[in-house]
Amino acid sequence: MTRPARAQQASAPVTADAAGTWRLGDLTVHRIGYGAMRTTGSGPFDRGVPSDRGRAIAVLRRAVELGVNHVDTAAFYFSALRSANELINSALAPYPDDLVITTKVGPGRDPSGDWHWASPAQLRGQVEENLRQLGRDHLDVVNLRIRRSEGVEAFAEAFGALAALRDAGLIRHLGISNVTVDHLTAARAIAPVVCVQNPYGLDTREADPLLRACGELGIAFVPFYAIAGEGKEAGVTRRENETVLAVARAHDATPAQVRLAWTLHRGPHVLAIPGTGSLDHLTENVAAGALRLTSGQLAALDGVMARG
């Protein structure tokens, strides 16, 4: 049996390299990364209690100390007091050479917090805003996030606009988010795609065909809400499943660690970007990359959604 996750943490913290690596184009990242949405507070955007700035910076720095070299963010991750990009800049600049910062465009928020969706012509402004906030002269990876109802033709126009910014040197690599296999096919006809971000987890497997397609193409699949599930931005809101609890007890791990480990077991191309504002939860999330589930445990977890 795998050494219990909590026992590992009690001796020496598990580092992100335990999860293995994958490549985003020519950039190598550990498969356990960090999602920056919750650096701004206990709830996403303007909901919840604003974060303590010092604690948020400490979490970001500790993530890098633990070997995390893939940070996911967006200019629209801000609350009344905090901006995720500004926190990342303050905590981590000058940036380590191996740190990959992935951001996303498409959705946007004005200073009052009101949402809008960018037209293809407005995407350059969103890219430049991320550049300014992060203090970079180019962005490592930019994901085009879309509404699921968006047709392939409109999506292709927007992705083409991002591809032009890649050709201009503002972006190194491109990804897509909240998409279908048809969107992926259309994007690849325009420019290389290094990653796909979609909601996915033990309870939310609508993106299974997309996960498989990415694996066949050698493209990173990056689930979000892998722990929160249907709670999405609000965080974990469910009563935990008994199968998850049993596997957690067998490994002296937390249910969140089991959910992350199950996700990583879905394929070597699957990355994880759990977010947290807690140093303890950060350590636990990174340690999930060392959790090796047995074939029997994986089979039991695979049946969770089928049983409801």
CA-to-CA distance for 12 and 105, rounded, in angstroms?
Answer: 38
**Own/partner long-range contacts of 92-99 (Cβ < 8 Å, ≥24 apart):** 92/60, 92/61, 92/64, 93/135, 95/136, 96/64, 96/69, 98/28, 98/69, 99/64, 99/69, 99/71
- The residues facing 224 across adjacent strands are 199
Grouping H, G, I as helix, E, B as strand and the rest as coil, residue 258 is: helix
From 77, 95, 200, 225, active-site residue: 77
Instruction: Report residue 194: phi and psi, to 5°.
Output: -100, -15
At CA 98, angle to CA 128 and CA 210, rounded to 5?
70
**Contact by Cβ (8 Å): 79, 85:** no
77 annotated active-site: yes
**Contact by Cβ (8 Å): 91, 53:** no
* CA distance to 1, 45, 72, 144, per residue, from 197 (Å): 32, 19, 10, 9
- The residues facing 195 across adjacent strands are 175, 220
Question: Which residues are designated catalytic?
Answer: 77
